[in-house]
Structures are given as structure tokens and as C-alpha cells.
Structure 1
Amino acid sequence: MSSDRRTLLADAALDVLADDGIRGLTHRAVDRAAGLPAGTTSAYFRTRAALLTALVRRLVQLDQEELQLMGEQVLVRDPAELADGIALLTRRRLTGEGRRRSLARYACAVESVRDPELREILVPRENAGRAAVRDFLSSQGVAEADVESRSATLLACIDGLVFDRLVTGGQVSREAIEGLVAAALRG
């Protein structure tokens, strides 16, 4: 089976999930979104669980690629630069294609509460963005024993702000980001 076709179907499934929510994610809806004949999705992903797993794997792949690229492009030498990088990420997660992926990501996160396989795929992975936050905190004198937990807390707070803005509208303010960076430095 073609991995290109699987990727096309996983991308179409992401679109369906972003547009129609978890209840709208069906094989037939994915076929329509991909512009393929009825039955194509079920030929590649026999069950809804298999389709959802493929969607989540693709989502994580796209997120990892985005974070890797950002990690290569964004320098983090001081609190302002870290806030700049976080602001860029939140804008990407709240607009355009990033917004669609965010909507799909949160729907999958809720679904993973009842599905250990999905939960395992969605567990935060090592990536350039996470490493940049840890390296920054270390370079600012945060005790090595605290770096991992402060990094995780900062990233979880950013994730929560993105979720809140998806629900309520608007962008994450620069002041909120700067406050979270300052809190991560203070402990």
C-alpha cells in the first residue's frame, strides 16, 4: 500500500476532524475530503480506530517538523527572544493551517483519555522547541534539578493559553507570554 495515499488520507482526516469534530470523522467523510472514491479510506484503514491512529501519527509528525524548523530559525539568548519564539508558535497554532491542526490536536487529546494507544502517540516528544526552552532555562541559572519541570510547566501553560484562545477567540498576549517566561525563571 502506498505511503503517499496513506498520508493523503491522514491529511484529509485531519481536515475532517478540524471541520466536523470527532463525530464527523468517518471513512466516507475522509473519502470526500480527499476527493477519492467511496471505500478508499476503509481499504487503507479498516477501522475507525486505525484511521484515528493514522491521523494522530500524522499530526505528531507535522508538529515535530514545525517545532524542528522553529528551533532552527529562532534564537533564544534572553527572555525577550524566548517570548518572541513562543509568540510565533502561538500565532501559528491559532491561525490558518496551524489552527486547524490545533483543533484536531485537542479533539485527539480528549479521545486519548479513553485510548492508551493514542495517548502514547500524543505524549510530548523531544523536539528542538522543548530543548531550546530547557537550554535557555539552564543558561539563565535555573538549577538542573528544576529545569525539566519548569520547562514542562511553561509549555503546558502555553498549551493551555492556545486552547483557551481557540475556544474564546483572539491571540495570546505578549504580556501573558512574558509573565510565563518570568515565572519559569523565578520558579
Structure 2
Amino acid sequence: MPTDRRTVLADTAIGVLAEAGMRGLTHRAVDRAANLPAGTTSAYYRTRQALLTALVRRLVALDQAELQAIGEQAPAPRGTEELVAGIAAFIERRTTGEGRRRSLARYACALESVHHPELREILTPRPNAARHAARDFLAARGVADPDGRTVTLLTCVDGLVFDRLVTGGTVSEQEIRGLVAAALR
């Protein structure tokens, strides 16, 4: 658990946003959720926009660390089955527990970025080991435009995560196989 006050507040804000939505994200709500005296959050993040920007930066940092670790810990997929299993595990992480909380906050921030381009800039996908592994997998199979296909594949995976957060249920292995097959065509 981080001890830096700004990080604690940003982490708490992620939780508040996931639980209460954009309208529920207030300085007071973060103070209460963090069990801190009233006014603490606003002392660190003077405006709601400053709080939201800190939240988005923290969210991206957590996501990048997770994706980097996935790419470094798991060997690059040697076959379609390994890629399907890796995507299934990723979707499971993003739709349950802490990953669900962060995903809900991420999508709320993505919608908010429509009106705040500075947030969109922070949320722009970044290179990481997991993205490189997917790209290398496609390139090794001779896929035309592996960079573009990687973006398409990962966007579709993101869509499955979003759909399951909104509608419930789980993603079937068949759905993932279909995405991978389409990326390989």
C-alpha cells in the first residue's frame, strides 16, 4: 500500500469513481473513503480537474505496470492456444476484483476525456511488453500490418471487457478464438 499522500488520494479516488461514478467523485467523498480529515484532498488537489488528472495519471501508471509485468513474466505466446489463454486471463483480471474497479474508473475517465482533451492525452495507449508480445505473435505468423492488427485485436479485447462490465457474464473461449482468428487473417 502506498504511503505517499498524493498516491493514496489518487488510489482512493479511483475507488470512489468506480463505486459512485463521475458525479460521486468529490473531494469530500475521497476524504471520507480515505478516512482523512475533511479538506485533505482539496489541500493536495485544489480543483476537481486536478483530482481527476491525478486519478487518470495513477490509473495509467497502474495499468502500464500491470501490462509490463504480464509481458515480462509470461513468455511470448508460441501458439494460438497460448495467446487465447493469455487474453482470457487478461479479461478475467480486468473484469474481477481490483481490475474491475480500475476498469470501471478507466471507462468513466475515457468518456470524460471527450470533454477534456488533456485527459485523452494521458489515456492514450502506450507501448508495453504485453502489446509487443501480441504484435510479435502476429508478425511471426506473417500477418500484414502487424502493428495495425495489434491495435485492432486489443481494441476488440477492450470492447469485450467493456461489454462484460456493463452486461455481466463472462467472455467465452470461443469469442476470444474468433478475435484471434480474425487478427490472423
Which structure 1 segments of 5+ residues have no match? Answer: none
* RMSD, matched Cα: 0.9
* Match of residue 106 from structure 1: 107
- Structure 1 distance, partners of 2:129, 2:84, is 16
* Match of residue 67 from structure 1: 67
* Match of residue 127 from structure 1: 128
Query: Which segments of structure 1 move beyond 4 Å, counting only runs of 4 or more?
Result: none
Number of residues of Structure 1 aligned to a counterpart in Structure 2: 182
Q: Partner amino acid for 2:96? A: T
Deviations 1:124-180 (A, max 9, x none): 11111111110100111113xx11110000000000011000011011111111110
Query: Identity of paired residues, percent?
Result: 72
Q: TM-score normalised to the size of structure 2?
A: 0.96
Deviations 1:45-86 (A, max 9, x none): 000000000000000011011111111222211111111111
Which structure 2 segments of 5+ residues have no match? Answer: none
- Structure 2 distance, partners of 1:141, 1:80, is 17
Q: TM-score normalised to the size of structure 1?
A: 0.95
- Structure 2 distance, partners of 1:73, 1:94, is 21
- Structure 2 distance, partners of 1:135, 1:4, is 37
- Structure 2 distance, partners of 1:105, 1:185, is 28
Q: Partner amino acid for 2:126? A: R
**Are 2:174 and 1:167 equivalent residues in the alignment?**
no
Q: Partner amino acid for 1:163? A: F
**SS of corresponding position for 1:38:** coil
For residue 185 of structure 1, report the CA deviation from its aligned partner.
0.4
- Structure 2 distance, partners of 1:8, 1:86, is 30
* Match of residue 36 from structure 1: 36
**Are 2:35 and 1:26 equivalent residues in the alignment?**
no
Q: Partner amino acid for 1:105? A: R
- Structure 1 distance, partners of 2:50, 2:114, is 17
